[in-house]
Structure 1
Amino acid sequence: MKQRQLGKNGPMVSALGLGCMGMSEFYTQGMDEKESLATLDRAIELGVTLFDTADVYGPHTNEELLGRALQGRRNQVFLATKFGIVRDSANPLARGSNGHPDYIRKSVEGSLKRLNTDVIDLYYQHRADPSVPVEDSVGAMADLVREGKIRYLGLSEVSAATLERAHKVHPISALQTEYSLWSREVEESVLPACARLGIAFVPYSPLGRGFLTGAIRTPDDFADNDFRKGNPRFQGENFAKNLHLVDKIVEIAREKGVKPSQLALAWVLAQGENVVPIPGTKRRTYLEENIAALDVILNEAELAAIDAAFPQNAAVGERYAHDVMQLINS
């Protein structure tokens, strides 16, 4: 397994991590806990060390799943989880954020218990809380490092300016944000900030929530409770226009003799040595296909062709529904 460093002074981890969210929620079609556990087993066998979850996935059930799966082999993985997204039981689609120090302390204790571990390797603030200065939230996280409850700090979906403020309080090892061929906003300021500060960039949804695989051809491919049904990019004319873009990637992949998913992952990996994608999957077959992308090398001409086929801001529609977008790039 190829390795990449998680931040300037951070540990080496597998160059491709595993996003575990879909094993418990959101991408609900074909959910199978037995297969999810087998996928986690296979990931460890293949040398994947970076496993990514969050307390909000389920909520809580995804952390519990990993806690069971990693029992007896916790030292074989680098475990990342997150706090800070608050859900409304009365409205499952609503989202809020909480970055208060007392909430952070309560959250980490819950995650430690569910994950069945004494320490969390990488603890992210999942979304910034506009009512709490980031310095206060990161200061509380730094206290947890000193207490030995977490090892490294991360942030998710924050602006370059917020990242710089946080990094002055305590070194930030990783910034996690959506990044793929159809979500390239971070190229303007966030990616340069990570490179300048020596922070690893961890792209989630590097396959565009499955769209860049070329397997999704119609909104009817989603189960009724799949959250993508309500995602603006997967609706109406947006879907048709985005599908046209994906078809160009499918053609380039065919010419190179690789799968579209592998081409899309290889493109993300080529954006910098500090980039560590975490494609999510709950099936061994797709896991193995994704890992094979590490052997796909794109030359300058191929990178230029991909960029021309799917330039920045080409995707149509917002990444999330309007209220959730308010928590992005904060």
Structure 2
Amino acid sequence: MTDPAADLRRVAVVVLEGAKPLDVGIPAQVFTTRASMPYQVRVCGAAPGLVAGGDGLSYHVAHGLEALEWADLVFIPGYRRPDEDDPPPAVVDALIAAHARGARLAAISTGAFALAATGLLDSRRATTHWHYTRALARRHPRIRVDENVLFVDEGSVLTSAGAASGIDLCLHILRADLGVAASNHAARRLVAAPYRSGGQAQYVPRSVPEPIGERFAATREWALHRLGDPLTLETLARHAAVSARTFSRRFLEDTGYTPMQWVMRARIDLARELLERSELGIEQIAADVGLGTGANLRQHFQRILGTTPTDYRRTFTRGG
């Protein structure tokens, strides 16, 4: 008799001393086993038992570091005083061994410090909560710390900023594993934004409030419902009721993309979902998402995703 658990992707969440509750809960909840989520989660610590967390909470974990030998994907949630306290050597060794075995390692917020202690982030881009980016750079000067992004995907090692960006990182991983439709379904379940790119800027306190950001969010939502229509910089700026120059500058600061780069990625995302969930032909999809021709869709699909629409559909077709 086939064991259903054998087909599930295996996720471990490593709880360190001082672990932040939201950081622990995000991957445990996002990847919880259900019909739409072929994952199995184990929450672990340096040893089974009670782990003192941050914010007055403690965690009783059922598993020790053997969970990292079992996992395909390992999350390291943020923890208190990361710039002062090194993770236990046994945890560092277990993370290195898991990576060497082929597991992906994903740090949320200050969990980047524990991941950095392995040396696996050396010479790579990484991020953490904006309050700790300089401390991470000082403590680990070989890391290329990017303080102005929500998350960084370096393939086998991933890092994210503050707690909420851990949701963005989890949804990003879901998109890569299962496709846009599954990621959007999980986002709806979490009542979260369906996608914020890793290049979007972290929130850093400003001396003056920026109410214009909400207006731009409304313009992005407006544009998402009109991707099949001609969308120009001037059209978007007109909706936001600012000049094209102001719109372009502030949009780049807010999202990490120029307006037209953002529109192109939104169109490619819609094309991905149509490829996954419909039997429409490439030419029809190209027209529906505002890219005009199949050739144009193929060109931008290859440039942004590194694959063709046909290969993408084959990968994510049910039963394919």
TM over 0.5: no
Higher relative contact order (CA 8 A, sep 6+): 1
- Using the size of structure 1 for normalisation, the TM-score is 0.31
- Using the size of structure 2 for normalisation, the TM-score is 0.32
Larger radius of gyration: 2
